């Protein structure tokens, strides 16, 4: 089994390709690889499920493979992520970084939760 980024896992992130002005090519390469990894997970849910279970992300391979098609995993550039978080705020006006852990799925690894929180923070979710 091979994935485009075998040492990574899906997560929420908001990236701005112009952020490190001195390394735009590296940022673009990272964002392209990140998008490819999301596309791979969506296109290979059974294989991704095996990786999710192996990494101890809180789901069995079977459960993850079943859930992936319904997870709406997408890559969004930073500007679109900010619009999405603004819409999320309209739908759930009480949602904040401070209460996000109460509504997140069954993530067992604190580093996974931290990735989601940081991505949503960067996209503008209020503290």
Residue 49 belongs to a domain: yes
Residue 3 belongs to a domain: no
* Interval 59-65 mean pLDDT: 93
Residue 7 belongs to a domain: no
* Interval 12-23 mean pLDDT: 57
User: What are the tokens at 117?
Assistant: 């929180």
Beta-ladder partners of 15 = 77
Residue 19: which pLDDT band, with cuts at 50, 70 and 90? low
pLDDT at 5: 37
Question: Do 62 and 97 share a domain, yes or no?
Answer: no
Question: Do 80 and 69 share a domain, yes or no?
Answer: no
Picking from 37, 52, 74, the residue at the C-terminal end of a domain is 74
Residue 60 belongs to a domain: yes
Domain that holds residue 94: 76-127
The tally of domains found in the chain comes to 2
Question: Do 67 and 84 share a domain, yes or no?
Answer: no
User: What are the tokens at 7?
Assistant: 């040492």
Picking from 54, 74, 94, the residue at the C-terminal end of a domain is 74
Question: Do 46 and 81 share a domain, yes or no?
Answer: no
d(CA 81, CA 77): 6
d(CA 89, CA 59): 28
Q: Highest mean pLDDT range out of 39-43, 53-57, 73-77? A: 39-43
Question: Do 120 and 81 share a domain, yes or no?
Answer: yes
Question: Which tens digit of pLDDT belongs to each residue from 31-51?
Answer: 889 899 999 999 999 999 999
pLDDT at 64: 93
């Amino acid at each position: 089994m091979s994935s485009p980024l075998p040492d990574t896992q899906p997560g929420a992130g908001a990236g701005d390709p112009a952020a490190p002005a001195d390394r735009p090519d590296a940022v673009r390469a990272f964002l392209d690889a990140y998008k490819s990894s999301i596309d791979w997970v969506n296109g290979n849910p059974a294989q991704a499920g095996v990786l999710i279970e192996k990494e101890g992300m809180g789901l069995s391979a079977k459960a993850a493979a079943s859930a992936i098609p319904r997870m709406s995993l997408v890559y969004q550039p930073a500007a679109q992520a900010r619009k999405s978080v603004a819409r999320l705020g309209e739908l759930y006006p009480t949602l904040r970084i401070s209460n996000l852990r109460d509504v997140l799925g069954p993530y067992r690894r604190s580093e996974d939760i931290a990735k989601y929180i940081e991505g949503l923070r960067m996209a503008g979710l209020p503290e």
